[in-house]
């Protein structure tokens, strides 16, 4: 499902929401999650899952084209862990 499909489904499910309102709702939720992660915090949505940051330490990689060694700096990457209810729902599929 893409962002635009989510917005369309939300506006179909709740007819009182104009498409622009549904779009701003989705945008606001995603922005809030991103801002929380940017601040280094964890986001938990009960029944769905949690978003957190994982640290990937610095390492030496190889350029696949030339085979030359390249230093890659350490970085934080977003991580999603599905909640128990979501895992069970998907498992019953």
pLDDT digits (tens, 9 = 90+) for 15-73: 998 899 999 999 999 999 999 999 999 999 999 999 999 999 999 999 999 999 999 99
Q: Residue 92's pLDDT band (boundaries 50, 70, 90)?
A: confident
CATH number of 42-93: 4.10.520.10
Q: Which residues of 38-67 are buried (b: 16+ CB within 10 A; e: fewer)?
A: eeeeebeeeeebebbeeeeeeeeeeeeeee
Q: What's the whole-model pTM score?
A: 0.81
CB 53 within 8 A of CB 37: yes
DSSP state of 35: H
Domain boundaries, the chain: 1-41, 42-93
| Alpha-carbon torsion (38, 40, 41, 44), positive or negative | positive
Question: Is the pLDDT at 13 greater than 90, yes or no?
Answer: yes
Give, in degrees to the nearest 5, the angle at Cα 33 between 31 and 39: 100
């Amino acid at each position: 499902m893409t962002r635009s499909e989510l917005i369309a489904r939300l506006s179909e499910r709740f007819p009182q929401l104009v498409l622009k309102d549904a779009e701003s709702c989705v945008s606001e939720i995603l922005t809030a999650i991103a801002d929380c992660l940017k601040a280094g915090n964890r986001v938990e949505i009960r029944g769905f899952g949690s978003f957190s940051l994982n640290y990937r330490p610095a390492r030496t990689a190889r350029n696949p084209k030339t085979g030359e060694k390249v230093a890659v700096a350490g970085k934080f990457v977003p991580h999603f862990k599905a909640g128990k209810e979501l895992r069970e729902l998907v498992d019953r599929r």
